[in-house]
């Protein structure tokens, strides 16, 4: 996660194992999923957007802000998803709620890296914990 001061946007990338996220999407949406199939790009974008909307959220300076799903790309065994929150004032407090892949396995660990104004903070959250807070 990176705060881009010039564009006043909060840019997020999520890296997941392709096999894991494909399985979760299959289970949740009861449909075949192949994130590497270009013919299914529109369907895959819709599934990914809906899933992420249910499993990650951002509260910046005590205000819940919606993200825009920019897209995803599959690279070997990984999938990178890209999100953006626009019109973000300077970040003083950030709260992230993240339960991505918690519906896949109970041993899930999510690692969060945040870069704001050159200051980097990192944390990990283990299932069932889904909240991470940062102050800048």
Q: Cα–Cα distance between 109 and 112 in angstroms, integer?
A: 10
pLDDT of residue 89: 87
User: Average pLDDT, stretch 30-37?
Assistant: 95
Name every residue whose Cβ is closer than 8 Å to that of residue 94 and which is 6 or more positions away in sequence. 1, 58, 59, 60, 114, 116, 133, 134, 135, 136
**Tokens linked to 22:** 């494909």
Enter the pTM of the model: 0.94
Q: Which two tokens stand for residue 39?
A: 């013919």
């Amino acid at each position: 996660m990176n705060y881009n001061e010039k564009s006043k946007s909060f840019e997020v990338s999520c890296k997941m194992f392709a096999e894991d996220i494909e399985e979760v999407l299959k289970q949740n949406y009861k449909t075949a999923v192949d994130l590497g199939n270009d013919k299914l790009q529109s369907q895959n974008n819709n599934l990914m957007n809906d899933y992420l909307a249910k499993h990650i959220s951002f509260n910046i300076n005590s205000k819940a802000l919606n993200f825009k799903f920019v897209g995803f790309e599959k690279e070997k065994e990984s999938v990178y998803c890209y999100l953006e929150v626009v019109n973000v004032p300077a970040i003083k407090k950030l709260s992230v709620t993240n339960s991505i892949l918690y519906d896949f396995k109970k041993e899930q660990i999510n690692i969060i890296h945040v870069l704001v104004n050159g200051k980097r903070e990192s944390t990990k959250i283990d299932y069932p914990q889904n909240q991470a807070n940062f102050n800048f």
